[in-house]
Structure 1
Amino acid sequence: MLQYTIRRLFSLIPVMCIVSIIVFMIIHLTPGNPAHLILGEDASEESIKQLEEQLGLDQPIVMQYVNWVKDIVTGDFGQSVYSSEPVLDIILGRLGPTFSITIVSIIMILVISIPIAIAAVWKRNTLIDPLFISISLLGVSIPEFWFAMLLVLGFAVSIPLFPVAGYIPMADGIFQWLYHLILPSFVLAAVEIGLVARMLRDGMLESVNQDYIRTARAKGVKESIVLMKHVFSNALIPTTTVIGAMVAGLLGGTVIIETMFTIPGMGQLLVDSIYRRDYPIIQGVILFIAVVYVIVNLLVDLLYTFLDPRIRYD
């Protein structure tokens, strides 16, 4: 396991190099002079030249990339053009709201999708199976922004059960923190509940008629124990893969939700930086999300050995 982990960590280096090149080129190959776009049409040539020197835009494109990567390796993501604060400090200051929404969304997904999948398999020969799956898949078909507007109009305006917008840190009270996260987290969760429930259900249906399951039933084991101990555990491997990709996807999916609910997370930071043309922050946020995505995939691969003892990487 240790050797495999070390190999995987080294294999992340070329992946992150490719990701860094893509992020860098997206920003620096956009039409127009970045310094001119940041300062506006009325900016003087002197101020544009000064900003180019500050951002290193006066150097060849290859040297710009090399210097940017060297700074990132040392933990220097540059400074914000808008506020002159270190980019890394700004990103770390926005992690709390984004991770809060992601964690609450994951809990909602697991709490709702797992019972739906188990009930669908348990009652697989009745109308409950297609009914549950049809309801769970509604979230996949509904656009996030439209669903968020419906929830706000229904449960924050017409029936004022939840706040319309805003965020309260956990340090100010866990109940207020959770109270402000329920609506935005449920919007994110609704999109993924159907996918996780469907994947878990399909995995369980593949195992429910296997020989070892028939043997367990022949020994008199209760159906509920068979489903939970044998069928459910064997369906966790493909479901865990989906959940791993979903975790990283939720971090990127908070862009719309944080903007709509006025939550000061990384999503709103990215949108504000795009409007301000704050290129160092845009690069830093995109690269940070990519790093999280790669690390989550590595952790999912390592988690397989705990879910299935038959898997051994060494």
Structure 2
Amino acid sequence: MLRYTIHRLISLLPVMLIVSIITFMIVHLTPGNPAFLILGEDASQESIENLEKQLGLDKPVVVQFLDWIANILKGDLGQSVYSSEPVLQIILDHFGPTISLTILALFFILLIGIPTAIFTVWKRNTLLDPAFISLSLIGVSIPEFWFAMLLVLGFAVAIPIFPVAGYIPFADGMLDWLYHLVLPAFVLAAVEIGLIARMLRDGMLESVNQDYTRTARAKGVKESTVLMKHVFSNALIPTTTVLGATIAGLLGGTVIIETMFTIPGIGQLLIDSIHRRDYPVIQGVILFIAGIYVIVNLVVDLLYAILDPRIRYD
């Protein structure tokens, strides 16, 4: 296991290098002059050129990229051209709201998705099964922004139970933190609940009539015990894969939801930085998101060996 983990960590380096090259080229090939945007339309050409020199934008693109990579290897993602703050610090400051939103959304996903899947397998071959399939398809198909607007109109405008937008840090009070995140977290969870529950249900149905489950029933084991002890555990591998991708997506920043609900997370930071042509922040955020994806995928692979003792990484 240790040897496999080290090998996977080393293999992440070329992946991150490719991501960094693509990110850098896309960002720097887009039109727009950050120096002009910072100084405004009334700035003189001399002032713009001086700021470009100060920010290093007057250098060739290849030199800028090599300087950026060299700084990354030192743990420095650069400074924002908009606020002059370290990019890494800006990302960490905005990562807290994204983590909060992810944790609450994941709580809703697990709380609703897993029991629903188990219950539909238990009541398989009844009217609940096609009803569940229809609801899961609807949940996956609903656009996030449309569902978010419905919830805001229903539970923040027509019936003012929750706030329309805003974010309160957890340190300022758990109830206020929860109060502001319930709607956006439920929107994110609603889209994923159907997918997670459907994957878990399909995995359980593949195991429900296997030889080992029939043997357990023949020994007099209760159906609920068979489902939880034998069927459920064997269906966790594909579900964990989908759940890992879901967590990575949530941690990477949910641009639409964070923007709609004015949550100062990674997604909103990326949008604001694009509007400002803040190259270092854009590059840093995208690289940070890519790192989250590869690390979560690594953790999911390592969890396979814990969930299924038959899997060994030699």
Q: TM-score range by the shorter chain?
A: over 0.9
Partners of 1:14 and 1:195 in 2: how far apart? Answer: 31
Matches within 5 A, 1:206-221: 206-221=206-221
Q: Where in structure 1 are there 5+ consecutive unaligned residues?
A: none
* 1:271 aligned residue: 271
* 2:233 aligned residue: 233
Matched residue type, 1:164: V
Matched residue type, 1:277: R
Number of corresponding residues: 314
Q: Is the 8 A contact 2:105 2:185 kept in 1?
A: yes
* 1:250 aligned residue: 250
Instruction: State yes or no: 1:175 paired with 2:171.
Output: no
Q: Where in structure 2 are there 5+ consecutive unaligned residues?
A: none
Q: Is the 8 A contact 2:167 2:181 kept in 1?
A: yes
- CA 1:82–1:31: 2 relative to 1, 3 Å: closer
Matches within 5 A, 1:55-134: 55-134=55-134
Matched residue type, 1:125: N
Partners of 1:203 and 1:295 in 2: how far apart? Answer: 25
Q: Is the 8 A contact 2:95 2:266 kept in 1?
A: yes
Q: Is the 8 A contact 1:188 1:253 kept in 2?
A: no
The Cα shift of 1:29 comes to 1.4
Partners of 1:33 and 1:155 in 2: how far apart? Answer: 42
* 2:202 aligned residue: 202
* 2:192 aligned residue: 192
* 1:260 aligned residue: 260
Matched residue type, 2:93: G
Q: Secondary structure at the match of 1:182?
A: helix
* 1:15 aligned residue: 15
Normalized against structure 1, the TM-score is what? 0.96
Partners of 1:140 and 1:39 in 2: how far apart? Answer: 45
Partners of 2:42 and 2:288 in 1: how far apart? Answer: 33
Q: Is the 8 A contact 2:79 2:87 kept in 1?
A: yes
Deviations along 1:246-294, one digit per CA (max 9) or x if unpaired, are 1111234521111111111111111111122212111111111111111
* 2:160 aligned residue: 160
Q: Is the 8 A contact 2:91 2:285 kept in 1?
A: yes
Partners of 1:148 and 1:104 in 2: how far apart? Answer: 16
The Cα shift of 1:40 comes to 4.9
Q: Secondary structure at the match of 1:137?
A: helix
- CA 1:117–1:179: 2 relative to 1, 3 Å: same
Matched residue type, 2:127: L
